Chain A
Amino acid sequence: MSAEPARYACGAPVRIRDLDKPGHVRTPFYVRNKTGVIEQVCGDFENPEERAYGRVGGARIPLYRVRFLQRDLWEDYAGPPQDTLVIEIYSHWLQPASGTGDVP
């Protein structure tokens, strides 16, 4: 990571980027381009996308837990509207969103 990573506060709306990056990435496809909110700021961790290839000891980057409404992840979600999912996302996969529910 070259620039200082962006920091997000708990409750901030974020959108998951689709970096279209090959290799050992930890952001599954089902959350890409989806909008949620920061559930927890987890601290800084080494980037697994580097560590997986033996590049250990690199810069630590912020890791967040992001919360989504299930109905924002799956158009035909079968459960009630309050059901949620929380997933860990590294900062470079995040971008600020204007608010919740602005999924295209």
Chain B
Amino acid sequence: MSAHDHDHDHDHDHDHDHDHDHAHDHGHAPHPTREDDDVALSPGEAKFLALKGMLVEAGLLTGDEIMRRLEINDRGSPHQGARMVARAWVDPDFKARMMEDPKSAARELDIAVTEAKLTVIENTLQTHNLVVCTLCSCYPRSLLGEPPAWYVSKAYRSRAVREPRKVLREFGLDFPETVEVRVHDSNADLRYMIMPLRPPGTEGLGEAELAALISRDCLVGAALPGTPA
């Protein structure tokens, strides 16, 4: 199996994460339910555990493969994305490499992205970008970790494409009519990270301080970076 196929197989798992989104809807720990979690199971979680057991029993997956995949998701964190953006803000050459090939740019920062194809979309003064997966919950988990609960909710998935400005206003973002709001439906093989605009007044800050201004929601387009205290 080639490296690409390997990545792709992992990536494909994500298309099926809707099978256990229930874990997030119910506010449990941010990982798929495990057999020994001391929580009441929702019907979806019970179904998920039963399916997982069947897949292992049928020899289609091993417990070890499932654990390795979970470990990759656990390594993912919004901070990794924030580090990439902060580096891109201070280093135009890095930014150019990141826009061209985000996965290899991530490797420069010792960040391993296992999704088949990652795309970075840059916000500008003219265009604000917002990511949604209308079909399930596609998200660059190896980079950013598990998505927020609202991202996988049916309400967000249906409304973000239909009335993005109203959704953005609920997140506290109100763009003038002169700005283009562009929605990206992450419905197939690509995964997206938004590169927010660097806030004014941050000229003197170092990379780590800049990264601290970038929240998880900024990387989906649902927030703007904070301003330094």
Contact = CB atoms under 8 A, between A and B. Distances in A.
Interface of A: 26-28, 30, 42-43, 45-46, 48, 51-52, 63, 65, 70, 73-74, 78-80, 82-90
B213 interface: no
B47 interface: no
Contacts of B181: 79, 83-84
B100 to A, nearest CB: 13
Tell me the interface secondary structure of chain B in the complex.
Answer: mixed
B188 A26 contact: yes
Interface string B104-143: 0000000000001100000000000000001100000000
Contacts of A48: 12, 15, 188-189
Contacts, number: 74
A88 to B, nearest CB: 4
Nearest to A82: B180
A87 B185 contact: yes
A45 B8 CA distance: 9
Contacts of B185: 28, 85-88
Given A26-B135, A84-B180, A86-B183, A78 B165 contact: yes
